[in-house]
Amino acid sequence: MHRVVVIGAGVGADHAGRVPVLPDLTLPGHPEVFVIGDLMPASGFAQVAIQSGRFAARQITQRLAGKPTDEADNPSLLEIGRRAAMQAERAAIEKTLAQTRWNRRQAAQILKISYKALLNKLKTYEEHDAAHEKNLTA
């Protein structure tokens, strides 16, 4: 499927099938086509694919709402690392909670953190999700 889009857009791909993209993740000359995942340069890491997907979703949501896209959403390498660490930590916590059937005390022991630290992290995730939802609907 992706080859059809790339050929139809007249964009050349490299030997790995990746295509050049603009900073807003669109194809050059095709602002309506977003490139994420394995088709974009510097892919190969799940975190890159996840972040590019979220970025593209924000761009599309803003466009559909008639809002200007946020060109200033170019996080520093440090911020990208922080986000990746937070997401990896959250995934580990959620996996452990699922394994323990949401027994938070047992999960904290498995994760080798205090029960209070686990509760604080879960609260932070809830606040982050609420703020993200608010930003999407605003």
Instruction: Report the pLDDT value the prediction gives residue 1, as an integer from 0 to 100.
Output: 45
Q: Residue 131 and residue 125: Cα distance in Å, rounded?
A: 10
Instruction: Report the pLDDT value the prediction gives residue 72, as an integer from 0 to 100.
Output: 47
Cut 0.85: pTM above it: no
CB-count burial class (<10 Å; 0-12, 13-18, 19+) for 39: buried
Q: Which two tokens stand for residue 128?
A: 């982050």
Q: Which two tokens stand for residue 62?
A: 């803003």
Instruction: Report the pLDDT value the prediction gives residue 44, as an integer from 0 to 100.
Output: 59
* Bridge partners, residue 30, by sequence: 27
E strands in the chain: 26-27, 30-34
**Architecture in CATH for domain 78-137:** Orthogonal Bundle (1.10)
* Domain spans in the chain, listed from the N-terminal domain onward: 2-64, 78-137
Q: Which of 66, 67, 10, 65 is nearest to 33 (CA)?
A: 10
| 10-residue stretch averages of pLDDT, the chain, 138 residues long | 52 68 78 77 67 82 76 64 84 94 95 94 83 65
